[in-house]
Amino acid sequence: MRLPDSEKKRLMHQYGPWALVTGATSGIGLELAMQLADAGFNLVINARQMDTLQATADSLSKTYGIRVIPVAADNAEPEGVEQIIETCRPLDLNLVILAAGYGTSGRFTESSLLTEINLLRVNCEAVLSLTHYFAQKFARQQRGGIILFSSIVAFQGVPFSANYAASKAYIQSLAEALAVELQPSGVDILAAAPGPVASGFAQRANMNMGQTLTPQQVGVPILKALGRTSLVRPGLLTKILSYALMTAPRALKVRIMGKIMGGFTGNK
Ligand SMILES: NC(=O)c1ccc[n+]([C@@H]2O[C@H](COP(=O)([O-])OP(=O)(O)OC[C@H]3O[C@@H](n4cnc5c(N)ncnc54)[C@H](OP(=O)(O)O)[C@@H]3O)[C@@H](O)[C@H]2O)c1
C-alpha cells in the first residue's frame, strides 16, 4: 500500500522536511520510515543494532534520494534518549514517530523483574521523555505531529501479558490527553492502536499470534490519520477485533483478552 500523492503533499506541508522514527529497522517503524522517505522526508532513524540501522539508512537514502541520520541508541538508557534529542535539535524536524517498543508474555509470577522494568523504560519512560521534549518544541513553533504506539491491548488488562498491556494503557492515556491539551498550539498527537501485526514483535514477546496484519496494511492508515483524529485502529482485522470487544463489560473484556493471550502464549 502506498500513500496517495495528495497525502504525501499534506504530510510534507504540515510536518516536513525532517522526521524522527524510533524503532525504524523493523516492522511498523520501518514501514512508516519507508512511507515518509517516499513522501520526500529526510529522516533521523533510531534502533539499537548499528549494522541493521546503517543498512536501513543506506537503503532509504539510496532508494528515495533523501538524507538519513542513524542514531544507534538503547532507549532504555537516558543517555540513549539524550543522543536522539541532541541529533534532532539543530534540524527543522516537525514529525516524530515513536515506534520503538517491545512486549513480554507469560505468567507474571514467572517473569523477570529486570526485563519488565526495562520494558517500562523503553515503552513508557523513553516515550515520555521524547514526547516532552518535542511537544514543548512543537508548541513553541505552533506546528508539529507526534505518533505514539498504543495497542489493542491498551483498553483493558490482559492476563499473560499484564505489564506490556499496562505499558500500552499508559501510552493510550497519555496520547488522548495530550491530543486535547496541545490542539490549540497546532500540535497533532495520534495514538496508533494496532491489533496483531507480523513483525519482529511476536518473536521477542514470545507470542504465537495466529492471524496478523502486515506492516504494509497498517502504515498508510496510520499516516492518513495524523492531523485528522487522535486515535487510529489501523486495518480491518484491528477494527473487527476492537469493535467486537467494545460492547463487553470491562471485567469480561479482561477475561476474553486473557483467553486470547493464553492462546498466543500457551497459558491457561
Ligand atoms: N506487532 C504487533 O502486533 C503490535 C501490535 C500493537 C502495537 N505494537 C507496537 O508497535 C510498535 C512497533 O512494533 P513492531 O511490531 O514494529 O516491532 P518490531 O518489528 O519488533 O520492531 C521494533 C523496533 O524497535 C527497535 N527497538 C527495540 N527495543 C529498542 C530499544 N531499547 N531502543 C531502541 N530501539 C529499540 C528495534 O530495533 P533493535 O532491536 O535494533 O533495537 C526495532 O527497530 C511497538 O511499540 C509495539 O509495542 C505492535
Instruction: Tell me the C-alpha distance between 252 and 245, whole Å.
Output: 9
User: What is the total count of domains within the chain?
Assistant: 1
What atom of ligand 1 comes closest to residue 118's alpha carbon? Answer: 31
Q: CATH number of the domain that 64 lies in?
A: 3.40.50.720
pLDDT cut 70: percent of the chain above it: 100
| Residue-range definition of the domain harbouring residue 189 | 5-265
What atom of ligand 1 comes closest to residue 121's alpha carbon? Answer: 31
Residue at 231: amino acid letter: L
Instruction: Tell me the C-alpha distance between 73 and 165, whole Å.
Output: 24
Q: Three cell numbers at 64?
A: 528515495
Instruction: Tell me the C-alpha distance between 148 and 222, whole Å.
Output: 10
pTM: 0.98
CA angle 16, 150, 153 (to 5 degrees): 160
Q: Is 4 helix (H, G, I), strand (E, B) or coil?
A: coil
What atom of ligand 1 comes closest to residue 52's alpha carbon? Answer: 40
Q: Three cell numbers at 192?
A: 496508533
What atom of ligand 1 comes closest to residue 150's alpha carbon? Answer: 7
pLDDT cut 90: percent of the chain above it: 94
Task: Report how far ligand 1's centroid is from the alpha carbon of 107 (Å).
Answer: 22
pLDDT tens per residue, range 107-119: 999 999 999 999 9
Cα separations (Å) of 79 from 73, 161, 162?
A: 8, 28, 28
Task: Report how far ligand 1's centroid is from the alpha carbon of 82 (Å).
Answer: 19
Residue 237: the pLDDT is 86
pLDDT tens per residue, range 7-28: 999 999 999 999 999 999 999 9
Q: By C-alpha distance, which of 99, 90, 82, 100 is closest to 18?
A: 90
Q: By C-alpha distance, which of 190, 193, 192, 84 is closest to 129?
A: 84
Cα separations (Å) of 39 from 12, 36, 43, 250, 259?
A: 7, 5, 11, 41, 41
Q: Three cell numbers at 167?
A: 505499558
Residues touching ligand 1 (Cβ under 6 Å) are: 22-29, 46-49, 52, 74-76, 99-103, 122, 149, 151, 194, 196-197, 199-201, 204
pLDDT tens per residue, range 37-94: 999 999 999 999 999 999 999 999 999 999 999 999 999 999 999 999 999 999 999 9
H/E stretch holding 131: helix 126-141
Pocket test for ligand 1, best of 201, 203, 214, 233 (most atoms within 8 A of CB): 201
Instruction: Tell me the C-alpha distance between 47 and 45, whole Å.
Output: 7
Contact criterion met (CB below 8 Å) for 148 and 188: no
- Give the residue whose CA is nearest to atom 11 of ligand 1: 99
